């Protein structure tokens, strides 16, 4: 077995059960770039995933703390999906992906990292983005730094306002 050392993760692991919901805490702060919040709507906001599957992996969440997709108000549901639609246009323009995955994980068993706050994942996909590294090495390679992706998407987003 190979060992990948990631000592910076211990700070998160040791506090994981004490961490406030990021989808509640981050929007209250005035640190959009630091927290990777790309855009704020009336009911929902868009942020980059700090642990992305691929570059440009976004999450769209309502400001209101609710864990179930079926508990979203009509306004939250509509804005979440309209933001997703616009995010697809922005990412297509900025990054030229060949496809997308969109999904909501509800509940821990479904893979929800923050099961108490529903959010929509939007993951751009490219031919070959699943390569030998995750299959053989159990390691994911991200070719771009998060803040570079953030700046590129923010610049492109502004073109669509």
Catalytic residues: 119
3-state helix vs strand vs coil in the chain, percent to 5: 45, 15, 40
Q: CB-based burial of residue 135 (10 Å sphere; 0-12 exposed, 13-18 middle, 19+ buried)? A: exposed
What residues form DSSP beta bridges with 47? Answer: 37, 59
Residues 6 or more apart whose Cβ sits within 8 Å of residue 118? 61, 62, 66, 67, 68, 69, 71, 72, 104, 106
**Spatial separation of the C-alpha atoms in residues 101 and 59, rounded to whole Å:** 12
Distance CA 126, CA 134 (A): 15
Q: Which of 47, 42, 22, 29 is nearest to 120 (CA)?
A: 47
What DSSP element (H or E) covers 73? none
């Amino acid at each position: 077995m190979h060992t990948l050392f990631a000592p910076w993760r211990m700070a998160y692991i040791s506090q994981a059960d004490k961490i406030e919901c990021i989808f509640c805490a981050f929007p209250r702060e005035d640190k959009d770039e630091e927290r990777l919040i790309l855009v704020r709507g009336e009911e929902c906001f868009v942020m980059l995933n700090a642990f992305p599957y691929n570059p440009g992996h976004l999450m769209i969440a309502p400001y209101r703390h609710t864990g179930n997709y079926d508990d979203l108000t009509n306004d939250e549901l509509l804005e979440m999906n309209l933001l997703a639609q616009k995010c697809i246009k922005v990412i297509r323009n900025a990054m030229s992906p060949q496809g997308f995955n969109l999904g909501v994980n509800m509940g821990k068993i479904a893979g929800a990292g923050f099961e108490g706050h529903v959010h929509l994942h939007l993951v751009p996909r490219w031919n070959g983005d699943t390569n030998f590294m995750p299959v053989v090495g159990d390691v994911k390679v991200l070719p771009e730094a998060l803040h570079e992706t953030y700046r590129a998407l923010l610049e492109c987003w502004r073109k669509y306002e």
